[in-house]
Amino acid sequence: MRYAAYVKWVAASLAGLRPRLLALVVIAVVPALGLSVYNALEYERATAADVQQNLLKDLRAIALEHDATLDRARHLLTALAQLPVVRRRQAGECSAVMARLLGALPDYGNLGAAAADGRVFCSAVPLPGPVDVADRPYFRQALETRGPAVSEYQVGRITGEPTINLAVPVVGETGRLRGVVFAALGLGWLRHAVRTLPSEHSLTVLDHRGVVLARLPEADDHIGRPAPDTAVLRLVLGQEQGVTEGPDLDGRPRLLAFVSIGGNLGAGRLHLVAGVPQGAVFERGRYALRRQLLGLGVIALAVVAIGWLMGEVFVRRQVKILVAAAKRFGAGDLTVRVGPRYGGGELGEVGRAFDEATEKLERLTRQTSLVFSSVGEGICGLDRDGTITFANAAAARLSGWEAQELIGRPMHATFHHTRRDGTPYPRDECPGREAVRMGGTRRIVGEVFWRKDGTPFEVEYVTAPIREGGQIVGAVVAFQDVTDRREAERRLQQQRDALLRSEKLAELGRLAAGVAHELRNPLTVIDARVQLLKQRTAGLPGLPERIESDLASLEEAAERMRRIMDGLAAYARPARREPALLDVVALLRALADLVGHHARNSRVQVAVEAPESLPPVLGDRSQLMQILVNLATNAIEAMAPEGGRLVLRASPGTAGDRRAVEGSAPEGSVLIEVADTGPGIPPDGIDRIWEPFYTTKSEGTGLGLAIVRSLVEQQPAAAIAVESAPGAGTTFR
């Protein structure tokens, strides 16, 4: 991910023309810089190889000097073994001779002799006490081989210094071993051998185990300790000689050379490591490299500056003019031109071709715009995401937006976000979206679009996909406002419905007149029989009150039937009546008594809620009572047989009352409500209950509410409305 981000950053940095010209200059300079660095590295490698070979040559010379020193020590001991003071074990005289010799040989640590049992009896260095060397390997080797022997470098018991011990056997005149003479050779010879090394060089002497025996320059903190276990140490201890690079004992990087020496007498091997600091070797070459790179850098900067200036004068100015014109063109300005001065070369040709293309495109766009502006339908072009890319003048006019405001806005969220009833319209169900997703042309009717001010208007629209190269790249939507046409169609339909209703009402009127005529004669007989029964039972002693109540009920029912027939007659041929002032509270109480028996049988409770202070109303008592009885009866039948509650309510009606039925209630009006707790009226039937012959009852005729509304319309300043919901009861007002 980091590499990809870096590549993007480099690409963005080189996007401009000037950076690319500068990149070319840099690319031209980079090989020279690379060649200089390569030459410097080759010089360092050659210098390092020369220095290491010289170090190795010096170490070989030191190794030869070491072997020569051991050889001279062997000859010296051979001569000392012949001295009489040694053969006779004259300790004092022998020690004096050895001391004088040691003073003349500064590279030696000690000279002495030991008896055959290992006891030292002669020493140039005063003995601290009895010293026994019988356990020393070089002592035993000299006795066993009767020849010279050499030890490894070790710390001497007498001198306390790191030395290498040489031993030569002492043989008596009879050939019997008398002991050995020995010499402790220190590292003084090493200091004389390295006097020719430069001061910044280092020299380290290691034994075969890697223990530091000597260090130049002096470093007492390393003497007698094992050197750090590094790759360099393992290389030194594993090979006879060679060169390498790495850290020395002080941790500084050095060029190193090493040799292994052991002498001609079989002594333990020593390892000499010489080093020189890399900085001291490479300083001159690196200084020359810095000067060379600095010169190349100055030249590169000069070339970059010249290229920058020339690119600005001869290239970038013309390119900036082209870029500015292209940006204005991309923003929609089709009048932009690069000319009339184009200049020469390829950039001038590009400018001239640009102007020719924009001029042709401007003419074509103007013609297309005139065509779309002349179309009465709103037309919008959409991309695959449903964003408006084009809108004509009709689309702007119908929607209340400016054409430029519509560009870049999502069409669904701008025009089509909500259905007619205000519920959200999901974007995935939008036909415009479907045209992009599925393809195909669709014609949509019965929907609404929304204007900028939030008002809806009825539309018919067509959606079709836009294809390019076989792929759907967008859609086009053409719509028109059909509000006026729909309103005209609705008015025409209302007129047709009114005509049909008038025809139905006329037929109903004829039917009602016939029914009223046919029922009037039987009703007269019933009423006459009731009156006759009342006369015959009047004054009879012991007459049950129940019979009187039943006769009164029969008389009331007969009166009610008479009023119903009068209502049918009025519906068929409305008669002018003289309204009177009526007490609404008394009407409601009489209504409660009249429907009480029916309500009790249907398990319905009837309640009257009305203040006594209600003003009287102007109306026809018989018609108003017929209206209320019809509404109450319908409510009771709707709640039977489960039962419920019927409320007959009256209250003053005011102009500001939200419960006013229609318009503003006149001063002194009364609001009457017949409310039940029944199942309610379905939503699809609430607007049809007033139609003749429409009913929700299995045995209903559908005339009751039609008669009620007809009677209400005959009352002065009266109106009726209904409120109902499934499961929440019904209220007529």
Percent of the chain with pLDDT over 90: 7
Neighbours of 220 (CB within 10 A): 7
Q: Is the pLDDT of residue 675 over 90?
A: yes
For the residues 678-707, what does the mean pLDDT come to? 75
Instruction: Give the confidence band of 732 by pLDDT, cuts at 50, 70, 90.
Output: very high
Higher pLDDT, 395 or 693: 395
- For residue 304, what are its two tokens? 């970059």
pLDDT, tens digit, 9 for 90 and up, residues 365-412 = 777 667 666 677 888 888 888 898 888 888 888 888 888 888 999 988
Q: Is the pLDDT of residue 660 over 50?
A: no
Contacts with 301 (C-beta within 8 Å, 6 or more apart), sequence order:
none
Rg (CA), the chain: 65
d(CA 403, CA 411): 13
For the residues 481-491, what does the mean pLDDT come to? 83
Q: Is the pLDDT of residue 436 over 70?
A: yes
Angle at the Cα of 38 from the Cα atoms of 34 and 44, rounded to 5 degrees: 145
Contacts with 435 (C-beta within 8 Å, 6 or more apart), sequence order:
441, 442, 463, 464, 465, 475
d(CA 269, CA 258): 13
Neighbours of 261 (CB within 10 A): 21
Q: Which residues pair with 167 in a beta bridge?
A: 149, 182
For the residues 336-343, what does the mean pLDDT come to? 70
- Say if residues 123 and 98 touch (Cβ distance below 8 Å): yes
pLDDT, tens digit, 9 for 90 and up, residues 262-285 = 655 444 577 888 888 877 666 666
Among 365-369, 426-430, 659-663, top mean pLDDT goes to 426-430
For the residues 50-55, what does the mean pLDDT come to? 80
3-state secondary structure of 667: coil
pLDDT of residue 252: 77
Higher pLDDT, 437 or 411: 411
Mark 152-190 as b/e (b = at least 16 C-beta within 10 Å): bbbebebbeebbbbbbbbbeeeeeeebbbbbbbbbbbbb
Instruction: Give the confidence band of 361 by pLDDT, cuts at 50, 70, 90.
Output: confident
Angle at the Cα of 322 from the Cα atoms of 318 and 325, rounded to 5 degrees: 140
